[in-house]
Amino acid sequence: MEKLSNKERMKIPRQVMPEQDSLVRSRNFEEVNLGFTEELAVLEAERCIQCPKPTCVAGCPVGVKIGEFIQLVSERKFVEAAAKIKEDNMLPAICGRVCPQEEQCEVKCVVGKKNEPVAIGRLERFVADYEREKFGLRKPELKTKTGKKVAIVGSGPAGLSCAADLIQMGHDVTVFEALHELGGVLVYGIPQFRLPKEIVKTEIDVLKELGVEFKPNSVIGFTDTLDELLKNGYDAAFIAVGAGLPYFLNIEGENLNGVYSSNEFLTRVNLMKAYKFPDYDTPVFNVKDKNVAVFGGGNTAMDAVRTSKRLGAKNAFIIYRRSEIEMPARKEEVHHAKQEGIEFILLSNPTKFSGTKGGWLKGVELQKMELGEPDASGRRRPVPVKGSEYTIDIDMAVIAIGNGSNPIIQKTTPDLQFNKWGNILVNEETMETSKNGVFAGGDIVTGGATVILAMGAGRKAAKAIDEYLN
């Protein structure tokens, strides 16, 4: 193929990723996005102008060599492209799906200054899927065994990425998981229609083949304490337990039947497969032809509201106290939600839930808000409008306003230092905690954040643990 000039490259429009029709998909749990074909991927890759100083890489929390892998895609060297990504990111099929590329790599894309940015996330997803589907995942080389043992607490994105690096560095790795299934938020939180569980399972299977030992049903703090792990043969530990203690609104009526935390609602549906009840044993509130309100404006809120629609809700609302601009959810998720018929009630704050005599949720009182001065997060602060209260009828509510820190590690590890919110204090370069040989990363350090930031923390910690052990 002839080499294109930059001008010609700039003329190629950003390729649209095929997706399931919104009417069809709002009734099933199959993946919404269908991924690029080879032709679309190559065409999209040709939009990259191969900047000498790629700004996109600076936007990636783990520094994926974006230009290099996209060059390989344009040469149809898809497997080599996957290998190039994996030099920096062990879980591209996951990140290609759930990373907020529009605020990370793609926002820095030079092409994006005049036109739409190169679809880096979609290309990442394409090469990862191509490799997995055509060849199965390939195992990387392992260094000679060091004989050192590392305990990783939590099998979510931070734990998995840390395990992947440490096993390649030659250390023995055991990952402890509290639930019966591996993957943390990737399996209990993010729905099937956004991240198929089979993909997570394949990535974990590769780690198993590489020799990572996984111990599900292990609640560190209870089953073993951190100190017991360190006493019984582990030379270092990485704590990646996630946030895992849902916030509630603290308003009247919150314990009525039909009010869920997003964690519970999503866990019942994703992990326990309540949408397949009674073939699976765990039930979830029957929303068929009912009204559902999800409180919050993040990705989890979008996941919950879209899940309720798929379960048959008549009306599914997002209720958020600021306006759409301030929503922390990815634009793509908001866009998809709207396509699927989700209604957005913005600048509205719940003040109390009301129930039936039998104690079932019946409605929520909302107070209108207006935007005032920017707050600490830089977003305009919502201010209540006096006398603007009104009530809407709802049958189920999901509270998706974030998570605090799970107390189990804190209560059982007296010499580990935490901040006042229960987050573990670390050296941000090395992820070292106040306790010798113990490192921490992911949401338990940062509070609720993204999959890729957790993975970045896992990789930083792996590097520091390797240095600590040598």
Stretch that binds another protein, among 25-33, 47-55, 241-249, 330-338 (CB under 8 A): 241-249
Give yes or no for a contact between 93 and 197, defined as CB atoms under 8 angstroms apart.
Answer: no
* Distance of alpha carbon 190 from the chain centroid: 7
Size of the site for another protein (CB under 8 A): 42
Asked if 282 is part of the footprint of another protein (rule: CB under 8 A), the reply reads yes
Asked if 222 is part of the footprint of another protein (rule: CB under 8 A), the reply reads yes
Give yes or no for a contact between 387 and 356, defined as CB atoms under 8 angstroms apart.
Answer: no
Asked if 277 is part of the footprint of another protein (rule: CB under 8 A), the reply reads yes
Tell me the C-alpha distance between 13 and 452, whole Å.
27
Which tokens hold the place of 7?
């001008």
Which tokens hold the place of 412?
């059982």
Give the nearer residue to another protein in terms of CB position, either 164 or 396: 396
The packing angle between helices 78-86 and 120-135, to 10°, is: 110
Asked if 101 is part of the footprint of another protein (rule: CB under 8 A), the reply reads no
Stretch that binds another protein, among 52-60, 73-81, 273-281, 295-303 (CB under 8 A): 273-281
Give the nearer residue to another protein in terms of CB position, either 354 or 430: 354
In the complex, what is the shortest distance from the CB of residue 224 to another protein, in angstroms, rounded to a whole number?
7
Residues in the chain: 470
Selected binder of another protein within 42, 150, 175, 178 (CB under 8 A):
178
In the complex, what is the shortest distance from the CB of residue 94 to another protein, in angstroms, rounded to a whole number?
20
Stretch that binds another protein, among 10-18, 43-51, 176-184, 295-303 (CB under 8 A): 176-184
DSSP state of 447: S
Nearest CA-CA partner of 441 in 190, 214, 153: 153
Q: Which of residues 331-360 bind another protein (CB under 8 A)?
A: 358-359
Asked if 409 is part of the footprint of another protein (rule: CB under 8 A), the reply reads no
In the complex, what is the shortest distance from the CB of residue 396 to another protein, in angstroms, rounded to a whole number?
11
In the complex, what is the shortest distance from the CB of residue 451 to another protein, in angstroms, rounded to a whole number?
17
Q: Residue 9 contacts by C-beta under 8 Å, 6 or more apart in sequence?
A: 46, 47, 48, 49, 111
In the complex, what is the shortest distance from the CB of residue 246 to another protein, in angstroms, rounded to a whole number?
5
Asked if 272 is part of the footprint of another protein (rule: CB under 8 A), the reply reads yes
Give the nearer residue to another protein in terms of CB position, either 260 or 468: 260
Asked if 406 is part of the footprint of another protein (rule: CB under 8 A), the reply reads yes
Selected binder of another protein within 279, 373, 429, 467 (CB under 8 A):
279
Selected binder of another protein within 113, 114, 180, 386 (CB under 8 A):
180
Q: Which of residues 251-270 bind another protein (CB under 8 A)?
A: 254-255, 257-258, 260-261, 263-264, 267-268
Give the nearer residue to another protein in terms of CB position, either 277 or 344: 277
Asked if 283 is part of the footprint of another protein (rule: CB under 8 A), the reply reads yes
* Distance of alpha carbon 3 from the chain centroid: 38
Tell me the C-alpha distance between 433 and 65, whole Å.
30
Stretch that binds another protein, among 178-186, 324-332, 442-450, 456-464 (CB under 8 A): 178-186
CA distances from 69 to 86, 154, 296, 419 (A): 10, 30, 36, 40
Asked if 74 is part of the footprint of another protein (rule: CB under 8 A), the reply reads no
Give yes or no for a contact between 278 and 305, defined as CB atoms under 8 angstroms apart.
Answer: no
Spell out a b/e string for 101-122, using b for 16 or more CB atoms within 10 Å of the CB, else e: bbebbbebbbbbeeeebbbbbb
| Longest Cα–Cα distance in the chain | 74
Asked if 80 is part of the footprint of another protein (rule: CB under 8 A), the reply reads no
DSSP state of 5: P
Tell me the C-alpha distance between 334 and 416, whole Å.
39
CA distances from 146 to 150, 164, 463 (A): 11, 15, 14
Asked if 408 is part of the footprint of another protein (rule: CB under 8 A), the reply reads yes
Selected binder of another protein within 43, 179, 345, 449 (CB under 8 A):
179
Q: Which of residues 356-395 bind another protein (CB under 8 A)?
A: 358-359
What pairing do the DSSP bridges indicate for beta strands 361-374 and 390-393?
A: antiparallel
Stretch that binds another protein, among 37-45, 104-112, 154-162, 216-224 (CB under 8 A): 216-224
Count of helices and strands (H, E) across the chain:
19, 16
Which tokens hold the place of 217?
């049903």
> Which residue is it, tokens 């519970």?
264
Asked if 280 is part of the footprint of another protein (rule: CB under 8 A), the reply reads yes
Task: Please give the residue ranges that form the binding site for another protein (CB under 8 A).
Answer: 178-180, 188, 216-219, 222-224, 244-246, 248, 250, 254-255, 257-258, 260-261, 263-264, 267-268, 272-273, 277-283, 285-286, 358-359, 406-408
